[in-house]
Structure 1
Amino acid sequence: MKSILICNLYKHYTIKHIADSFKEMGLKVIEKSYFTPKDMYHDEKLEEMLRKDFGSQNYDLIFTVNYSPIVSGVCYRLNIKYVSWTYDTPMDLSSMETMDNPNNYIFIFDRGEYLKYKNMGLDNVYYLPLATGFTPMSEILDNYDYEVSFLGSLYKSTYPYIMEKLDNYHKGYLEGIMTSQRLIYGSYFVLELLEDQESELRAINEMTGFDLSPGQLSYSMASYMTYIDRVSLLSLMSNRFKTALVTGAIEDEKKMMPDLTVLPKIDYYTEMPDFFRKSKVNLNPPFRAVWSAIPQRALDIMGSGGFLLSGYTDELSYYFENGKDLVLYDSIEDAVEKASFYTKNDVVRENIRKSGMIKTHEEFTYKDRIYSIINIVES
């Protein structure tokens, strides 16, 4: 393998780390950015651009962050290997169209998602956790800017618009599902429940005038639960600790949480690592549909040398030791209680921070991940 094209459709931050790692393996790497199609399955303009670019050189493979049916189709017609590595979960795919193309190598960072597609009969899916590419920091910090911080989206959802059109029974039906789900970490049952209750989903679609699939309604509900989780968490934290949120404009939430410091977005490579290092406790409340995977943000925090307080996921618990490498919580109240303890106990927090950083840099490097990809593609 000599030459690859990194096709940047979705503008993910990790592209630079991935490209650098391919180059370290001795490959010639070409990067090209394209517009993100509104229809991820069909876009004649994008397909023509890709056909022209992919055929202009003898690329050994085309690479994208997240799977693209359009890229897969073009690669299939040109007989070029196509490698994708997921960054988001669940995968935002309305069908399995093109996924079984023989030129595909689909690497999935969420073991639960990987097993789902594997059990559907796909032989070209592979489990590959995410990685970190930040320089480790060994010195002990004593000049913190914040006691608690969170960098990320609050996930505004379409769910309130759906709820407006429902009768009281179906409002209560969906609210009951979400109330039960919010009590549970390490499992996500909403999608399976909606798939089993076809008559309820049909009634919801009739009332709203939408044509929602179980996956689409599940995603909307997961986004809304994530929003409620994160606002609740930040509200309680900011009432007790010096707390910062780095995100986009959220004027309504500023009014709701007057004690919260809201900061504008910062640069992923030059500013984010320092922000994590200068917060005593860095929060990672996972997206509600993420029950298995290790989120990129968790690795970013530990890889930068920050202390991680995260909602429980199966893979965080499997790869890292709770209370030694990181700290996991299983409710909003548990998170607040643990933040109170670790903001006050500097030595304990410092030991966990260093252990998490060391393990992340030993076991979650881009070099190792890219080596695994190349090894599988060439085998």
Structure 2
Amino acid sequence: MQTDQPEAAASIVVFESPVISRDCAEALQTLGFNVTTLALSEDNVMGLMSARPDYVLTINFNQYISEVCELLKIPYLAWVIDTPCYPIYDKAINHSHSFTFIYDAAVARRLRQSGVRQVYHLPVAANMERIGQIDVQQQDSAPEYDISFVANLTRTEYRTSILPHLSVQTNERCSQLIDSLDQPEAFLNMADQLDENLIATIQRESGYPLAGDHYLPVAHKLAYLLGREHSWQERIEVIQSLEKHFSIGVYGNEEWRAQVNGYVGHADHFTEMPRIFQGSKINLNIIRSFVESGLPMRVFDVLSCGGFLVTNDKEDLHRLFTDGKDLVTYRDTQDLIEICAYYLEHDEERRTIAQLGRSTLAQNHTFVQRMTDMLTTVQSELRGEPGAFSRWY
């Protein structure tokens, strides 16, 4: 799909983010846009009033930039790649000049059902050119592990601010809800199980302000808090189980050190992570239980490096890739152990899947393709022609 070519190099300001803003800027330049990258600061946001670009792009939604762009009548494009991203529930997301693209179709669909019109599903992507440059660099230290997992372990608000203050009865109820998230898709119904009495009890006992937002009911906010706690526990339990059978290296923040034996340290996203993905026999992905259908950057990062990926299941995996051809999905921890054991003994199958996964990614999931889809949708809306919700749904 080709985007309508802007007249005489339309200008776009891309506000910097820690991960993919640089990839977006490069793709936009490839498409012929005049791109300016700026640090996200109050002065630079206010500077839009004098710069007056044709478009503004951020990674994740920023309600203040949305307000400024609405005032200036500049199309504001936000690509949401995190869950939860609380700013998307602000009423600013429904501004007439805001166009929000969310990697999780379930979240985008729910916002549409709440009355937000210009919200769409857009998966994340990979920068094959950037990874290709790393491919030709000498790898000074290839990983020495059968399995690698690159992810932070973030101590949750529930664990630090709510759990220590709960009564035994309330703690047991919350623990039951957290444990229920072991079942696939259980998070879809989590908010419905959080009645007003439970919410009020948690607020009273913990003193934690369970505030929602314009498009985020309090029950959904609490569901995210419980989901984050479940994912914190799940990551530790999965890695501890794998360590009993395999050599596994865990890369991320210091929180891991006290939880697992195989903690290696931090891995830089742009330099070290690609080498880990390229050199590991198996790369593990554990999508958080509170992510309903979307795929995190790790899926695309691993495949773009030609790494072999084993991941738990989400709906987008079957819409964007083919299980058993591009990557391999697991059902539960025992299934994961058996899958890892099998592919560690079948090198050729593992390498073939990794190569096919990289080929599928290069063909269908690049930043140029994503920016093309994004701008085509926005330009259609500006002409009064409603843009498609998603290419995949």
Q: Is the 8 Å Cα contact of residues 153 and 253 (structure 2) preserved in structure 1?
A: no
1:199 corresponds to which residue? 197
User: Cα offset for 1:215?
Assistant: 3.3
Alpha-carbon separation, structure 2, partners of 1:94 and 1:374: 20
How far the C-alpha of 1:188 sits from its partner, in A, is 3.3
1:50 aligns with 2:50: no
Taking the aligned partners of 1:185 and 1:352, their CA distance within structure 2 comes to: 27
1:1-379 to 2 correspondences below 5 Å: 1=6, 2-8=10-16, 11-35=17-41, 46=42, 49-51=44-46, 53-93=47-87, 95-134=89-128, 135=131, 145-160=144-159, 161-185=161-185, 188-194=188-194, 197-212=195-210, 213-250=218-255, 253-258=256-261, 260=262, 262-379=263-380
Decide whether aligned partners of structure 1 residues 255 and 202 sit closer, same or farther in structure 2, where only a CA change above 3 A counts: closer
| TM-score for the superposition, normalised by structure 2 | 0.86
Are the structure 2 counterparts of residues 94 and 102 from structure 1 closer, same or farther at C-alpha, using a change threshold of 3 Å? closer
Alpha carbons of structure 1 residues 153 and 255: separation in structure 2 relative to 1, 3 Å? closer
* Aligned counterpart, 2:215: none
Q: TM-score, structure 1 length as denominator?
A: 0.89
Identity of aligned residues (%): 24
Q: Tell me, yes or no, if the aligned pair for 1:4 and 1:60 is still in contact at 8 Å.
A: yes
The structural deviation recorded for 1:192 is 3.4
Q: How many Å apart are 1:256 and its aligned residue?
A: 4.2
Deviation at 1:193, TM superposition (A): 2.4
Residues 285 and 311 of structure 2 are in contact (CA less than 8 Å); yes or no, is this contact kept in structure 1? Answer: yes
Q: Which structure 1 residue ranges, 5 or more long, are not aligned?
A: 36-45
> CA RMSD of the aligned region, Å?
2.0
Would you say the 8 A contact 1:83–1:106 is kept in 2? Answer: yes
Q: Are the counterparts in 2 of residues 303 and 360 from structure 1 also a CA contact under 8 Å?
A: yes
Shift of 1:331: 1.2
1:97-126, Cα deviation, whole Å (9 max, x unpaired): 111110011111111111111111222111
Aligned-residue offset at 1:49: 4.7
SS in 1 for 2:266: coil
CA distance in 2, matches of 1:307, 1:187: 28
After superposition, what is the alpha-carbon deviation per residue over 1:241-287, rounded to whole angstroms, capped at 9, x for unaligned? 1110111113xx435433x1x22322222221111011111111012
Task: Determine if contact 2:343/2:350 at 8 Å carries over to the other structure.
Answer: yes
Distance in 2 of aligned mates of 1:104 and 1:182? 36
Q: Structure 1 CA distance, aligned partners of 2:20 and 2:61?
A: 15
Distance 1:170 1:102, change over 3 A: same
Structure 2 unmatched ranges of 5 or more: 1-5, 211-217, 381-393
Larger displacement relative to structure 2 (345-354 or 211-220): 211-220
Contact 2:304/2:361, CA 8 A, preserved across alignment: yes
